[in-house]
Structure 1
Amino acid sequence: MKKGIHPDFHEVVFMDSATGFKFLSGSTKSSKETVEFEGQEYPLIRVEISSDSHPFYTGKQKFTQADGRVDRFNKKYGFKDTGAGAK
C-alpha cells in the first residue's frame, strides 16, 4: 500500500441512540467524544440504528407487500380486473 493516502484505521465504539447498545469495531471514522468500553477508552460514534433496533433483526418486521404492483394500482384507482381469466 502507498503511504500517506489511506485513512487511519482504528478501533471505535458504536452506540445505538435508540437502545443504548454498544459494540466495538474497526473504522476509519473518528470522533472527539470518548467512552470507556471493557476497561479501555475508545472514540464513540453514535448511530441511529443497529442490529439491536433494526426491525429485521428484532423480529418486528412489517410485511406490506401483500399485493403485486399492478393489483395495488388497480385498487388505488378503482379499476376492475380485466385479465385473461375474466371472460
Structure 2
Amino acid sequence: MKPNIHPNYGKVVFMDINSGYKFLTGSTKKSNETIVWEDGNTYPLIKVEISSDTHPFYTGKQKFADKGGRVDRFLQKYNMKEKK
C-alpha cells in the first residue's frame, strides 16, 4: 500500500439511537463523541438511525404503517385518478 493516502482504521462503537443497541467494530469513520466500552477502553461513538436491531429485514416486524407506493402518493398529492 502507498503510505499516507489511506484513512486511519480503528475500533469504533456504533449505537442505534432508536433502540440503544451498541456494537464494537472496525471503521475509518471519525467522531468527536466517545464512549467507554465493556472492556474498559474508550472508543469513538457513531450514532446511526437504524441497525440490525431495528431494521425490519432483520427483526421481521414492520414499524411503520404502509404509506402506499410512490405512484399512489403522487396521485393523492395532486388529487389525480389513475388511468386504466
**If the length of structure 2 is used for normalisation, what is the TM-score?**
0.72
CA distance in 2, matches of 1:41, 1:56: 31
Verify: 1:77 aligned to 2:78, yes or no: no
Matches within 5 A, 1:21-32: 21-32=21-32
**1:52 corresponds to:** 53
Structure 1 segments (4+ residues) deviating >6 Å: none
Task: Tell me the amino acid that sits aligned with residue 46 of structure 1.
Answer: K
Task: Tell me the amino acid that sits aligned with residue 59 of structure 1.
Answer: G
CA deviation profile, 1:2-42 (whole Å, cap 9, x unmatched): 00000000000000000000000100011110001112110
Verify: 1:13 aligned to 2:13, yes or no: yes
CA deviation profile, 1:62-83 (whole Å, cap 9, x unmatched): 8x7xxxxxxxxxxx6363xxxx
Task: Tell me the amino acid that sits aligned with residue 6 of structure 2.
Answer: H
CA distance in 2, matches of 1:32, 1:78: 53
SS at match of 1:77: coil
User: Which one has the largest radius of gyration?
Assistant: 1
**If the length of structure 1 is used for normalisation, what is the TM-score?**
0.70
In the comparison of the two structures, how many residue pairs are matched? 67
CA distance in 2, matches of 1:23, 1:13: 6
SS at match of 1:24: strand
SS at match of 2:23: strand
